[in-house]
Chain A
Amino acid sequence: MVNGENERVSLLFMKALVSRGSVDAVSQQMASHPQYLESFLRTQHYILHMDGPLPLPYRHYIAIMAAARHHCNYLVYLHSAQFLRVGGDPLWLQGLEAAPPRLRLLDHINKVLAHQPWLTACSHIQTLLKSGEQCWSLAELVQAVVILAHCHSLCSFVFGCDTDSDFVPLSKSTNGFPPTFWPFDAANGNTNVPQSLATPSEHITRRRVTNSIQFSLFCVMMCFTDSTHFITDPDLCYQEFARREQDHFQVFRVQDYSWEDHGFSLVNRLYSDIGHLLDDRFRSVTTLPSMHSPDLKRAIWNYIHCVLGIRYDDYDYGEVNRLLERDFKLYIKAVACFPDATKTPVCPLSLAPLKPSERIHVNLLIMEARLQAELLYALRAITQYMIA
């Protein structure tokens, strides 16, 4: 890394440390792409901690629900800790049944978005917004959807980068904390960022349980070692979109509903400024300096959208087969559609010799493509609801 970039990263980590008290493993993985990391952290900070219609504990709980869909224990624990930290009711962590009915209503759209986003329909939105005691407002729903999509796609990244396997709860770190990053004490002015970013769990420093919140988290962790409490219908998973094409599911044409023209305007209208932040993410991930050619990047992007049922009129899908080898395609599909933490992704041969930063770049592309796909489906459903 260039010195300037190094400083940029440490500045970002400093900021994260000051505001959140920790830098999680995911951010450390992304540190090889500081330009992207910046917009990622900004978005994440905005949707989880800044102004928005949803109360803070709700946001983290939604994140937990989303991460649990992909059995991503790492994110579940991370958000459980933050959930308690912002004053969430520890009872809710017992499982979805203990959560308020309003959050339980969200389970269905969570399920669909996580595994088969093309099933997202106007009727789902209608059920959630139907007036009643437990109804959602449009603004709340949009924030919830953004958090869901963000966390689903983050699961893909965590899985792709194998962050989750570093994290074995209750064995390595006895107190059950997420592998947060305390390698330096900001107050001491020691701001060296370790170069070996891939194994953050080494940096875990044991900390005494001084805080009641941490203690209650500890208790929760002791009781619940898996994340299946936060989901229903655990068998639901991705299904081949192509095979279902004979059903009534129409192909999603980007030319009819695109992020730039439609998604942005809608999401920005209902949840101000998020459009710009997400736009920044999509933009920066495609413009990241990388040894992959633009054509390859576009092939990866369009391939992910294709397996999720989104088609580009102006793309020749034969190109995907030309540019992506079979095992690479398998890898992309596994990371994008089956980011199940209980398995380890098979790293394709073509990626093996690459530098870790290049591998991470591929994972970032997958994450963003998946995020955009989910958002497009959800936002289109909301648009249809608004027109109807």
Chain B
Amino acid sequence: MEKMSRVTTAHSSSAISCRTMFCHLDAPANAISVCRDATQVVVAGRNIFKIYALEEEQFVEKLNLRVGRKPSLNFSCADVMWHQMEENLLATAATNGAVVTWNLGKPSRNKQDQLFTEHKRTVNKVCFHPSEVYMLLSGSQDGFMKCFDLRKKESVSTFSGQSESVRDVQFSIKDYFTFAATFENGNVQVWDIRRPDRYERMFTAHTGPVFCCDWHPDDRGWLATGGRDKMVKVWDMTTTRAKEIYCVQTIASVARVKWRPEKKFHLATCSMMVDHNIYVWDVRRPFIPFATFEEHKDVTTGIVWRHQHDPHFLLSGSKDSTLYQHMFKDATRPVDKANPEGLCFGLFGDLAFAAKESLISSDANRKPYPGGDRRYPIFFFKKPDPTEQFAHVSSALSVFETDLDSNCMDWFVKTAQLYLLCGKPFAELCDHNAKVARELKRPQVSTTWTMLRIMFSDPANLTTPGLNHSLSKLGTLPLMNSFNMKEISSGIGTESRLERSKGESRQDNLHLEPGTLHISNNNEENEETEGSEGQAEYMFGDAELDDDDLYSMEQENQTEEQEYMLPQEAFQLRHEIMDNPSAPEHLQQDKADSPHVSGNEAEVTCLTPIESFSLISISQPLFSPHLPASFFCPIVREMLSYYAEQGDVQMAVSVLIVLGERIRKEIDDLTQEHWYMSYIDLLQRFELWNVSNEVIKLSTCSAITCLNQASTTLHINCSNCKRPMSNKGWICDRCHQCASVCAVCHHVVKGLFVWCQGCSHGGHLEHIMNWLKSSAHCPAGCGHLCEYT
């Protein structure tokens, strides 16, 4: 408000209201213009030609210039301009090619003054000379510009652009004789009004039509142009060749551009199509609008700053039949919503990260930027108005270098290659994969595989060496494992969190590698005590540390228990597993149910940390030796999500495939698809095409399996005439030769055909391999140095 009063005193001639307001027009507007003292605005369009007074709180219709029962096309305006010296004088450009002037001082209802019908096509633009009362310029679709002296009946000079339609003409504000014209073919011409024979200079400003231009009100050298190519460009016209000094890329074709008064670098634009907003840009910050007005519902067709020296009011007319006065203080500031964070990987795994300083400032180790605080330029002699400042965001940029070893993904490649995903019984797959993981020193993963085998395997078929020496072990293991899983997860969770914070403070080693950092303190222990006892011990240790987790775990078990009752397959499965003819069926069932209930009770009662140790030993015999596989599904699901979250999507997908139907229904399709996509993407980045293909094939998501069916076209050239083979089949269209002849044995190849992409020659895989042992040249004798990879 303080600012406001300053403005009004500066231009005391006009009492300027201060409110965003609008009024409905009867018809879409094509252009608007204000009179010199900023108290009235004229709106022109195909079916509207009215003058509104700008009052404190509202627009008031002053005059309807569109008179007559059936107004002629002369009233259908493409453009309108109010004279900036003579209050009663207006000019319009009619769509039928007429240039009309209007004298508001006329006593009659029809204010039409003069009518020039010299243009053959639609007149796109009219422009009064800024200081000469009687001089009017027009630009038309027919490619001509005409200069009218309003005291005469016809034009005084005609300028031929020698190119296509004229879209805009603008007198220079500072140079008396100069005007600029923009053309549909992308050119901008600068003319001297005294020399109609030839333009002073011409340059191509845009690709496609240049819809508008505007001379800078203060700087005589600057011309802003806007085009269909969605660009706004600012040209320095003082040099011998027009030089582009600023360029703003907008999101739609630019219909109008208007420099903002009193702000050297600001200009307002609106668009021709699709985008209805008005943007105010700071040309030095071309990537984000300084301010946006979002009131209109259809394209904005006319924008004008209300007063020549006041940057706070913008008037706009639109195809949605409204006229708006926008207050600058009400504009939205897109920069407030912008996210000033950025993240990018370098070629060698370096990571650059930029974030607001305020977010990073908590880091005490950071040194301030050596250039000092740049937020406030030194030349301010008074306190800058914060609303006129681009919100300054100073970001801190951190670059994290990657330690090559820690980032090594060898384990990933090896794992991908060595894992078996199908083709063997489930237990063997698990064992194999566990072994692979163990050899790669990833004991957690290895353990997981072992546990999976135990959880889901048919106990009867289990051929583990441990079968004979502990019956009880089999019974206890599943439950313990389920706890175990949880503990490991939470263990890693905290561990990695620690690791990450360390990484941040050291600014390196950001890339976490779950395989290597995983519970290093437990590594040795785990490896030497391989098998169930080791795990059990491990679990105890953790359980002692972390009772809360144990408690929550039991809660989950309770809820899961209901689930366990539901599926029928659980019972069927048990039939198979049992293989115990002596035990009657109902007894089995009782047995299966009862221990669980009691186990539950036991769990509920054993909440205290001291007893948690004994919990397992107590509940152990109560459990049936064979828990149904579905019992573990929620836990496995959690485990898979955990692995995926940790970035080891390889594990998640591999387990998903190996478990197959056992787990698939537990995980929603979108998540599965997401995992598959991530894993396949990773595999392809490591060029593990075969593995990726196998994964695609084994997946059950329809979105994934169809990946194999996309882009299966192979474009080939005929080996004979070297033209592309457009037909299907192996007969070349042009030379009628069979294209797939082996260059070595001259027989048609059926089966694996390998060929050089350079010369199109090839043949049987083994023939070519043999040939290349002895020669580097093409076997067809074409002289090409073939390369088969």
Which positions in A face B, CB cutoff 8 Å?
A: 18-21, 185-187, 210-211, 213, 253, 255-256, 260-262, 264-266, 269, 279, 313-314, 383, 386-387
What is the chain B residue whose CB lies nearest that of A256? B46
Answer whether residue B96 sits at the interface, using C-beta atoms and an 8 A cutoff.
yes
B734 / chain A contacts, CB cutoff of 8 Å: 185-187
How far is A265 from B275 in the complex, measured between Cα atoms in Å?
A: 11
Given the contacts A18-B724, A187-B734, A266 and B729 also touching, CB distance less than 8 Å? no
**Inter-chain contact A20/B726, CB cutoff 8 Å:** yes
Query: Beyond A265-B252, A314-B96, A314-B122, is A19–B228 a contact (Cβ under 8 Å)?
Result: no
A210 to B731, CA, bound (A): 10
Task: State the main secondary structure of chain A at its contact with B.
Answer: helix
Contact with A along B112-128 (1 / 0, CB 8 A): 00000001111000000
The size bracket of the interface on B is: 35 or more
Cβ proximity bits B25-47 to A, threshold 8 Å, 1 near / 0 not? 00010000000000000000010
Distance in angstroms between the alpha carbons of A210 and B208 in the assembled complex: 48
How far apart are the CA atoms of A387 and B731 in the complex, in Å?
54
Asked if A313 contacts B723 (CB within 8 A), the reply is no
Contact A262 B729 (CB under 8 A): no
Given contacts A187-B721, A260-B209, 12 further A-B pairs with CB under 8 A are A21-B727, A213-B728, A255-B122, A265-B252, A269-B273, A269-B274, A313-B76, A313-B97, A314-B96, A383-B274, A387-B297, A387-B320
The reply on B192 being an interface residue by CB < 8 A is: no
Please name all residues of chain A whose beta carbon is closer than 8 Å to the beta carbon of B208 when the two chains form the complex: 264, 279
CB-defined contacts of A186 to chain B, threshold 8 Å: 723, 734
- B141 sits at the interface (CB 8 A): yes
CB <8 Å contact, A387 and B298: yes
Contacts A186-B723, A314-B122, A386-B274 given; indicate if A255 touches B46 (C-beta within 8 A): yes
Query: Is there contact, CB below 8 Å, between B97 and A187?
Result: no
Task: Report yes or no: A211 in contact with B727, Cβ–Cβ below 8 A.
Answer: yes
Known: A18-B723, A185-B734, A255-B122. A314 touches B141 (CB 8 A): yes
Alpha-carbon separation in the docked complex, A255 to B45 (Å) = 11
Instruction: Verify if B487 is at the interface (C-beta below 8 Å from A).
Output: no
A26 to B640, CA, bound (A): 61
**C-alpha spacing A253/B78, complex, angstroms:** 12
Instruction: Choose one: B73, B273, B320, B733; the contact of A262 (CB below 8 Å).
Output: B273
- Chain B residues closer than 8 Å to A19, beta-carbon distance: 726
Q: Does B184 contact A (CB under 8 A)?
A: yes
Hey, which chain B residues are within 8 Å of A187, CB to CB? 721, 723, 734-735
The reply to whether A313 and B73 contact each other, CB–CB distance below 8 Å, is yes
Asked whether B272 is an interface residue with its Cβ less than 8 Å from the other chain, the reply is yes
A256 vs B78: C-alpha distance in the bound complex, in angstroms?
A: 9
Contacts of A383 in B (CB 8 A): 273-274
Separation in Å of the B94 CB from the closest CB of chain A? Answer: 8
The distance in angstroms between the C-alpha atoms of A262 and B209, with both chains bound, is 12
Total number of residue pairs linking A and B with CB closer than 8 Å = 76
- Give CA–CA (A269, B274) in the complex, Å: 9
Q: Chain A contacts of B96 at CB under 8 A? A: 313-314
The 4 A-B residue pairs whose C-beta atoms are closest, nearest first, are A313-B95, A187-B734, A265-B273, A255-B95
Distance in angstroms between the alpha carbons of A213 and B727 in the assembled complex: 10
With a 10 A CB-CB cut-off, give which of B76, B726, B735 has the most chain A CB atoms: B726
Give the chain B neighbours of A264 by CB distance below 8 A. 208, 228
Our pick among B76, B272, B273, B721 for the contact of A255 (Cβ within 8 Å) is B76
- Point out the residue from B122, B274, B724, B731 that lies within 8 Å of A313, measured CB to CB: B122
Given contacts A313-B76, A314-B122, contact A266 B97 (CB under 8 A): no
Which residue of A is nearest B729, CB measured? A211
Q: Is the CB of A211 within 8 A of B723?
A: no
A212 to B, closest residue via Cβ: B728
Q: Would you call B728 and A211 a contact (CB within 8 A)? A: yes
Contacts of B760 in A (CB 8 A): none
User: Is B274's CB under 8 angstroms from A253's CB?
Assistant: no
Q: How far is the CB of B789 from chain A (nearest CB, A)?
A: 28
Q: Give chain B interface residues in 731-759, CB to chain A under 8 Å.
A: 731, 733-735
Does B620 reach chain A (CB closer than 8 Å)?
no
Complex contact B723–A314 (CB within 8 A): no
Q: Give chain B interface residues in 125-145, CB to chain A under 8 Å.
A: 141
Q: Do B252 and A314 touch (CB < 8 A)?
A: no
A387 to B733: give the CA distance in the assembly, Å. Answer: 51
Contacts A20-B726, A255-B95, A314-B97 given: A265-B120 contact, CB under 8 Å? no
Q: List 10 A-B contacts (CB under 8 A).
A: A186-B723, A187-B734, A211-B728, A211-B729, A213-B728, A255-B76, A256-B28, A262-B273, A265-B253, A387-B297
Q: Which residue of B lies closest to A387 (CB)?
A: B298
A19–B726 Cα gap in the complex (Å)? 7
When distances are taken between beta carbons in the complex, the residues of chain B under 8 Å from A21 are 726-727, 733
The smallest beta-carbon distance between B676 and chain A, in angstroms, is 24
Report chain B residues within 8 Å CB of A256: 28, 46
Enumerate B595-647 residues with CB–CB distance to A below 8 Å.
Answer: none
0 or 1 for each of B711-734: is its CB under 8 Å from A? (1 = yes): 000000000010110111101011
The smallest C-beta distance from B138 to any residue of chain A, in angstroms, reads 13
Q: Whole-angstrom distance between the alpha carbons of A368 and B32 in the complex? A: 35
Among B94, B121, B184, B272, which residue has its beta carbon within 8 angstroms of that of A265? B272
